[in-house]
Chain A
Amino acid sequence: MNATIAVITFRAMLGRRRALLLLALPLVLLVLSVVLRVTDNNDIDISADVLQRFGLATLLPLLALIAGTGVIGPEIDDGQIMYVLTKPIPRQVIVLTKLAVAIVLVAAFAVVPVLMSGIVLQGTTAGMAPAFTVGVLVGGVAYSAVFVALAVLSRNAVTIGLLYALVWETLLGNFAPGAKSASIQQWALSVVDALTSASPVKSTVDLPVAIALLVAVTAAGTLLAAYRLRSLPVASAE
């Protein structure tokens, strides 16, 4: 980890208008939860639905996409990464720092809102709020690693990431159960499932398999990003 890189990355991510963008979705989730609670529509099925569909399946991948690609993608695109790469710093330190910043952002803008929303909706019933919090956190780590790697590998990281999160995980998952099991979302859901006694939460993947896959994807993403950054061709201005 490198504190200087972390500070610059946080400033780049939270400065300007991007911070507002990061705040929009969690705010919607919180407002929705409060409205459901006030109108007494917060039974366990609806709560689980909101936390799973909105929190885990929408808010989390989108924020992880913004954070994961945002911590390094723009810097590579406009060549600023040169100022970091021309320093005697091992590449894996750069990647790990960027990943850590992405995870902290995901924690702040997805994990904490999901916890708050869970408490607003269900209090401590069935351990649902903490279960979803842990699930979103472990999913967030894996998503961040994948999207950071994607941002180092491709200039079209955001598009590819969106296609993966929306088309593969959400849409295809509805039609093809096989595709559903091969998604970070389902693995994270499996963790949630194991932690809560609430019956509406059902995962298609067994917990040990899910944990193994989450760890594998996180490690693979990090290694790939570090390896690729070692030989990143920085395009010239021409």
Chain B
Amino acid sequence: MTELRLEGVSRWYGNVVAVNGISMTVGPGVTGLLGPNGAGKSTLIHMMGGFLAPSSGTISLDGAPIWQNPDIYRSLGLVPEREAAYDFLTGEQFILAMAKLHKLPDPRAAAQRAIALVEMGYAADRQIGNYSKGMKQRIKMASALVHDPPVLLLDEPFNGMDPRQRLQLMDLIRRMADEGRTILFSSHILEEVERLASHIEVIVAGRHAASGDFRKIRRLMTDRPHIFLVRSSDDRRLAAAVIADGSARSVQLTDKGLTVEAVDFQRFTWLLPQVSRDADVRLWEVSPADESLESVFSYLVAR
């Protein structure tokens, strides 16, 4: 069993704290590292990948330190977020070179296997510079898989992918995990993480905000007071009906419509149409006012 362990890991740049006292253990299966852009996910992954020294705390892979220990790359594969690969090489040359750098006993076979794994055989003899974003992502994935590592770190692997490529990559990651690998990937999109990760770690503003399976995280994210903007044919009458119904904590009448603070997200969205129908008010618009991920995350932090 392969385990990546972080203990009290912090990283600061001058006065700016990018990662603040994070402790977690990443074991076999798919772990999603979720957080808004700029939360410190990349910094954290770079530290896990041995590219950045923690300013304090330790990161270890099955007890071996990661920082300044090139030997750990025998059991670790890293897919960086940046697109840059060796554009002048063909996919096959690139993966073969990676296999040789790993000093694998049969680099050619390993390269073939890795390319087949990401289904890039059809484009293996084309230059990487001419690949699409999704193809680059997959060839990068192959470069990280060529030595069959038990641990795989992926930094924003779905960025810039179209839905079909996204599904293919999710499928691939799931297969990798089923083989018993420890996989960690970062994303700022809850739905991606939810569909793929059995375990989720949430990072907000450099802090470890939550940890658990996706149901728990989903509940944390939805069981918070929600603010909706509602426009209707008769705002005043609707406001009275909503307050009387009890599914909202407060209702504010503005010239743009109603601002409703719901107590329970599910109950409110389910009840509002009934309440308005009973009150004989026509709903024109119901929109969440604070549905941005940042507000969800800041709620988690404040909690």
Binding site for B on A (CB under 8 A): 2-5, 7-8, 11-12, 15-16, 78-80, 82-91, 230-234, 236-238
Contacts and interface: CB of A to CB of B under 8 A. Distances in A.
Nearest to A77: B84
A237 B70 contact: no
A79 B155 CA distance: 13
B64 to A, nearest CB: 12
A82 B77 CA distance: 11
B78 interface: yes
Q: Which 10 A-B pairs have the closest CB atoms?
A: A236-B42, A78-B84, A87-B101, A79-B82, A4-B100, A234-B51, A237-B81, A80-B84, A15-B88, A86-B73
B196 interface: no
Contacts of B49: 86
B102 interface: yes
Given A231-B68, A234-B51, A237-B82, A84 B42 contact: no
B218 interface: no
A52 to B, nearest CB: 37
Contacts of B100: 3-4
A8 B86 contact: yes
A236 B86 contact: no
B86 A83 contact: yes
Given A8-B86, A15-B88, A234 B101 contact: no
A40 B68 CA distance: 61
B70 A90 contact: yes
Contacts of A2: 101
A110 to B, nearest CB: 24
B53 A231 contact: yes
A178 to B, nearest CB: 37
A12 B101 CA distance: 17
B143 to A, nearest CB: 6
A97 to B, nearest CB: 11
Contacts of B52: 233-234
Contacts of A237: 42, 81-82
Contact of A88 (B68, B70, B82, B84): B70
A85 to B, nearest CB: 7
